[in-house]
């Protein structure tokens, strides 16, 4: 690194946008959970794509590696620098322009640092909907969501970020600005290169803008919470609705009685808005496109509940009731956090294998790991569950060896059912060992070749995804 590297960087982005002091760097150097404690050389905060390009060129010339960062809400440490004080964090949060909102083509072109919430609001202000919805949407950015191929509670109906991304703009390893911000639904002109950057976790380039597909919002939604006896009934009722009425279910979220107990103990939910307690709970949301459908659907849901042998179901009758039902689901992570450090897993299996996965985990978990409880919740309609181990008693630490054994147990169970050890959170720095263990060797080799072709000097996010 040449002695004038930082000076040149400051000239490229403005002195105020190069942070080098310890206090300024800390929020960028640590992950939001406080699990990882990195130490960067500095943090640059460019405001234009040309500034990103100049930053990358300077880094390439000086062999300085780059950690791209959005809202820093990632789950796997992908946005956290290592402890060497040699890596540069490139934070995109000052690049938040809405370059175009095209209501005729149903899409918006926005810069990487715009938050998901701001993108949702902009679309809603124009009568459209940006459907990606995750609990971190106030801070998580478009660039981060593209780079992690984020999922969330509406994937069932609208797909994940890959399905919502029509085009991207990215800065490549030599500082080239590659603009592929096309609004096309059809474009068969060779390899679809943007797909490499979607889910690339900042290892192939810096995404500076994206063209996002928008949808027409439903005229209303029917949201319900049901207490159910079996996971199988949650899946069969979903199949039933989809088979009879098409793709109108937006969310199908499952959580267990363990989640409900944690909510009661740690978040003040003494009881859920149901008559009794149940082994499982289902939070569902159905999109309605005709005014007046609410009454018909309320009847259909009660009838469906009967077929599920469920006699305890509550429908949201107002927006505030809807928000209250969603708050239950969204507070589960907080209820876990209050219990102590949990060992989190985000796995997926073919939807039909969900009951088998849960049975395999529940059958032997508690006899093997007596100090822990398993808390299962997640996007059951997508085959994606969070299977988290939590200490039985508040504040008790789960030891490192036990944590590793638990993770192996959960991942082995998912992979044995043809599932994935990382459904929507990615790999980052935390799951590289699982990548080496579970990913097929030919796929790993192809990934390494792609990385070498696009980033021959290895300046983008080393130590993440691939090791
Ligand atoms: C409470 C909570 C709930 C969550 N729920 C969900 C959920 O339901 N579904 C889900 O999928 N995720 C969820 N997440 C995880 C997280 O919010 C998402 O992964 C989100 O997409 C990350 O966005 P970010 O801007 O914070 O990215 P960051 O955390 O800053 O970065 C994530 C990764 O992307 C890279 N990156 C970021 N920006 C860029 C860019 N512009 N160019 C290139 N690389 C970049 C980083 O290097 C890193 O590898 C949740 C997180 C929290 C805290």
Q: What is the tens place of the pLDDT at every residue in 187-220? A: 999 999 999 999 999 999 999 999 999 999 999 9
Secondary structure class of 389 (helix, strand, coil) = strand
Pair 348, 320 in one domain: no
Handedness of CA 95, 96, 100, 105 (dihedral sign): positive
pLDDT at site 439: 96
* Residue 271 confidence (pLDDT) above 90: no
Count of domains forming the chain: 4
Pair 209, 105 in one domain: yes
CATH no. for residue 252? Answer: 3.30.70.2190
- Of the residues 309, 333, 357, the one at which a domain ends: 333
Query: Residue range 58-73: average pLDDT?
Result: 98
CA angle 348, 350, 351 (to 5 degrees): 95
For ligand 1, atom 15, the nearest C-alpha belongs to 74
pLDDT at site 301: 84
pLDDT at site 467: 87
Percent of the chain at pLDDT exceeding 90: 87
Pair 278, 357 in one domain: no
Query: Residue range 36-64: average pLDDT?
Result: 97
For ligand 1, atom 28, the nearest C-alpha belongs to 72
pLDDT at site 248: 92
Q: What is the tens place of the pLDDT at every residue in 415-452? A: 999 999 999 999 999 999 999 999 999 999 999 999 99
> In angstroms, rounded to a whole number, what is the distance separating the alpha carbons of residues 173 and 449?
15
Note whether residue 301 is domain-resident: yes
Q: What is the tens place of the pLDDT at every residue in 286-345? A: 999 887 788 888 888 888 888 878 889 999 999 999 999 999 999 999 999 899 889 999
Q: What are phi and psi of 90, to 5 degrees?
A: -110, 105
Pair 209, 225 in one domain: no
Note whether residue 264 is domain-resident: yes
Pair 309, 395 in one domain: no
> Which atom in ligand 1 lies closest to the alpha carbon of residue 146?
21
Pair 187, 235 in one domain: no
Q: How far is the CA of 146 from the centre of ligand 1 (A)?
A: 8
* Residue 395 confidence (pLDDT) above 80: no
Pair 70, 135 in one domain: no
Pair 273, 201 in one domain: no
Pair 81, 121 in one domain: no
Assess contact for 284 and 242: CB atoms under 8 A: no
Q: Which residue has the higher pLDDT, 271 or 274?
A: 274
pLDDT at site 421: 97
Q: How far is the CA of 163 from the centre of ligand 1 (A)?
A: 16
Q: Which residue has the higher pLDDT, 35 or 464?
A: 464
pLDDT at site 294: 81
pLDDT at site 193: 97
Q: Which residue has the higher pLDDT, 134 or 396?
A: 134
* Residue 33 confidence (pLDDT) above 90: no
* Residue 174 confidence (pLDDT) above 90: yes
Assess contact for 214 and 179: CB atoms under 8 A: no
Tokens representing 186? 């059809």
DSSP-derived letter for residue 313 is: E
pLDDT at site 9: 97
Domain assignment of residue 376, given as a range: 340-424
To which residue do tokens 């100090």 refer? 371
Q: How far is the CA of 185 from the centre of ligand 1 (A)?
A: 25
Neighbour-count burial of 299, counting CB atoms closer than 10 A to its CB (0-12 exposed, 13-18 middle, 19+ buried): exposed
pLDDT at site 351: 96
* Residue 185 confidence (pLDDT) above 90: yes
Neighbour-count burial of 439, counting CB atoms closer than 10 A to its CB (0-12 exposed, 13-18 middle, 19+ buried): middle
Assess contact for 158 and 439: CB atoms under 8 A: no
Note whether residue 154 is domain-resident: yes
Note whether residue 458 is domain-resident: no
Average pLDDT, the chain: 95
For ligand 1, atom 37, the nearest C-alpha belongs to 144
Assess contact for 171 and 208: CB atoms under 8 A: yes
Reported as type and span, the H/E element at residue 231 is helix 231-245
* Residue 159 confidence (pLDDT) above 80: yes
Pair 108, 207 in one domain: yes
For ligand 1, atom 44, the nearest C-alpha belongs to 202
pLDDT at site 161: 98
Pair 321, 263 in one domain: yes
To which residue do tokens 């109108």 refer? 248
Handedness of CA 387, 393, 396, 401 (dihedral sign): negative
Neighbour-count burial of 117, counting CB atoms closer than 10 A to its CB (0-12 exposed, 13-18 middle, 19+ buried): middle
- Of the residues 196, 213, 230, the one at which a domain ends: 213
Number of C-beta neighbours around residue 367 at 10 A: 7
CATH no. for residue 50? Answer: 3.30.43.10
* Residue 408 confidence (pLDDT) above 80: yes
What confidence tier does 394 reach under pLDDT thresholds 50, 70, 90?
A: confident
> Which atom in ligand 1 lies closest to the alpha carbon of residue 379?
8
Q: How far is CA 144 from CA 30, 71, 75, 293, 383, in A?
A: 16, 7, 11, 37, 23
* Residue 143 confidence (pLDDT) above 90: yes
> In angstroms, rounded to a whole number, what is the distance separating the alpha carbons of residues 179 and 173?
14
> In angstroms, rounded to a whole number, what is the distance separating the alpha carbons of residues 22 and 20?
7
What confidence tier does 35 reach under pLDDT thresholds 50, 70, 90?
A: confident
Pocket of ligand 1 (CB under 6 A): 32, 67-75, 78-79, 92, 112, 134-136, 140-141, 143-145, 147-148, 150-152, 201-202, 206-207, 333, 424-425, 428, 461, 464
Write down the pTM of the prediction.
0.94
pLDDT at site 354: 97
Pair 78, 117 in one domain: no
The contacts of residue 413 (CB under 8 Å, 6+ apart) are 357, 360, 361
Tokens representing 340? 């102590």
Q: How far is the CA of 139 from the centre of ligand 1 (A)?
A: 9
Secondary structure class of 390 (helix, strand, coil) = strand
Q: What is the tens place of the pLDDT at every residue in 76-105? A: 999 999 999 999 999 999 999 999 999 999
Note whether residue 418 is domain-resident: yes
Q: What is the tens place of the pLDDT at every residue in 239-265? A: 988 988 888 999 999 999 999 999 999
Query: Residue range 376-383: average pLDDT?
Result: 96
């Amino acid at each position: 690194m040449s002695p004038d590297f930082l000076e040149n960087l400051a000239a490229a982005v403005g002195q105020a946008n190069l942070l080098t002091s310890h206090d300024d760097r800390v929020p960028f150097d640590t992950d939001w959970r406080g699990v990882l404690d990195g130490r960067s050389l500095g943090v640059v905060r460019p405001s234009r794509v040309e500034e990103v390009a100049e930053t990358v060129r300077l880094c390439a010339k000086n062999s300085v590696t780059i950690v791209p960062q959005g809202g820093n809400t990632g789950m796997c440490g992908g946005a956290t620098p290592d402890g060497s004080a040699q890596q540069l964090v490139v934070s995109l949060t000052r690049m938040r322009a809405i370059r175009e909102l095209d209501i005729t083509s149903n899409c918006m072109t926005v810069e990487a640092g715009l938050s998901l919430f701001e993108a949702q609001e902009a679309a809603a202000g124009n009568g459209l909907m940006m459907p990606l919805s995750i609990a971190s949407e106030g801070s998580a950015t478009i660039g981060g969501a593209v780079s992690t191929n984020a999922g969330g509670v509406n994937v069932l109906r609208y797909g994940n970020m890959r399905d919502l991304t029509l085009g991207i703009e990215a800065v490549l390893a030599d500082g080239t600005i590659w603009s592929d911000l096309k609004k096309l639904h059809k474009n068969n002109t060779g390899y679809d290169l943007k797909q490499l950057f979607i889910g690339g976790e900042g290892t192939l380039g810096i995404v500076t803008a994206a063209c996002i597909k928008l949808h027409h919002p439903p005229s209303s939604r029917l949201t319900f919470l049901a207490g159910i006896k079996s996971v199988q009934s949650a899946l069969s009722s979903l199949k039933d609705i989809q088979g009879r009425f098409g793709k109108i279910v937006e969310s199908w979220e499952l959580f267990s009685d363990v989640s409900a107990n944690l909510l009661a103990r740690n978040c003040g939910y003494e009881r859920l808005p149901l008559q009794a307690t149940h082994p499982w709970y289902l939070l569902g949301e159905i999109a309605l496109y005709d005014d007046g459908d609410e009454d018909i659907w309320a009847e259909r849901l009660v009838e469906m509940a009967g077929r599920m042998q469920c006699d305890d179901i509550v429908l949201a009758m107002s927006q505030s009731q809807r928000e209250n039902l969603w708050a239950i689901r969204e507070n589960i992570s907080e209820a876990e956090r209050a219990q102590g450090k949990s060992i989190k897993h985000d796995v997926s299996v073919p939807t039909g294998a969900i009951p088998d996965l849960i049975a395999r985990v529940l059958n032997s978990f508690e006899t093997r790991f007596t100090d822990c409880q398993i808390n299962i919740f997640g996007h059951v309609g997508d085959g994606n569950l969070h299977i988290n181990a939590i200490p039985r008693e508040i504040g008790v630490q789960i030891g490192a060896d036990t944590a590793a054994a638990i993770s192996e147990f959960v991942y082995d169970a998912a992979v044995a059912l043809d599932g994935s050890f990382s459904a929507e959170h990615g790999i980052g720095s935390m799951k590289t060992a699982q990548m080496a263990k579970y990913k097929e060797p030919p796929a790993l080799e192809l990934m390494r070749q792609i990385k070498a072709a696009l980033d021959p000097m290895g300046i983008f996010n080393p130590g993440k995804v691939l090791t």
